[in-house]
Amino acid sequence: MKIRFPAFAALLLFPVTAYAQGPTIEIGSGLGASILTNGGSLTHIGVPGAGIVGQAPLFVNFFFGRGVLIQPEVSFNILSGGGETLTTLGVAGHLGYAFSGAAANSAYASVGGAVQYADSDFGSNSEFGVGARVGYRVLVNTGFAIGFEGGFRRWFDSEVNEITIAIRLGGIVSAP
């Protein structure tokens, strides 16, 4: 019981301390390549990609405290041709850590999940996947950052693995 209380108190105080320091907020998108494979019969390489199932996403990075990173993402595509239309919507979220913090060039790592919804003339389906990323973020000046990253995500319903490499470009809109 004596060990549980300090651990519980630390869990409660961490978000309050991180919020009190104010977040650094970065908004951007990414370019890269995605490889989708199910181990044999399906291999898809998408450029530009490196987002949610190979789609370039819009993302927001929220950095709190010494380097805690929360990153929601969204992607939306409409593909039309030959009288057929495919619409996709992807939403993802990552929780990570920038080892040198948001105010310096830093290596980072994150884990997260994603949901992909696709609707076409042949029907609709949704997917859920989880994965991880590692990368390095470089501050170009006080208002711009470039991230170089690689990631892996497993999509469960279709049993597809997604491997990505990306360059993420972000504008820093708020810093403490």
What predicted TM-score, i.e. pTM, was given to this entire model?
Answer: 0.77
Residues 95, 63: Cα–Cα separation, whole Å:
10
Residue 35 lies in a domain: yes
Identify whether 11 is part of a domain: no
Residue among 68, 110, 75, 108 nearest 92 (CA): 75
Residue with more model confidence, 63 or 18: 63
Domain housing 72: 22-174
Write down the pLDDT at residue 110.
96
Any idea which residue has 């609709």 for tokens? 124
Please tell me the distance from the alpha carbon of residue 66 to that of residue 170, in angstroms, as a whole number.
19
What is the pLDDT at residue 46?
Answer: 56
Question: For residue 170, what pLDDT is reported?
Answer: 92
pLDDT at 96: 96
Handedness of CA 59, 60, 62, 63 (dihedral sign): positive
Does any domain span residue 127?
yes
- What pLDDT, on the 0 to 100 scale, is given for residue 47? 52
Q: What percent of the chain has pLDDT over 70?
A: 77
Whether 69 is covered by a domain: the verdict is yes
pLDDT of residue 11: 46
In a domain, 45, yes or no: yes
- Per-residue pLDDT tens over the stretch 11-46: 444 444 444 457 899 999 888 888 878 876 555 555
Residue 3 placed within a domain: no
* pLDDT per residue as tens digits for the range 70-86: 999 988 888 788 888 88
The total domain count for the chain is 1
Q: How far is CA 13 from each of CA 1, 7, 8, 73, 96, rounded to the nearest angstrom?
A: 18, 10, 9, 27, 18
The larger pLDDT score, comparing residue 54 to residue 92, is at 92
Look at residue 115 and tell me if it is in a domain: yes
- For tokens 């519980």, the residue is 8
List, in order, residues 6 or more apart from 140 with CB less than 8 Å away.
146
96, 69 in Cβ contact below 8 A? yes
What CATH number does the domain containing 121 carry? 2.40.160.20
| Mean pLDDT over each residue of the chain, to the nearest integer | 81
DSSP-derived secondary structure letter, 19: H
15 within domain boundaries: no
Note the pLDDT tens digit of each residue in 123-154: 888 889 999 999 999 999 888 999 999 999 99
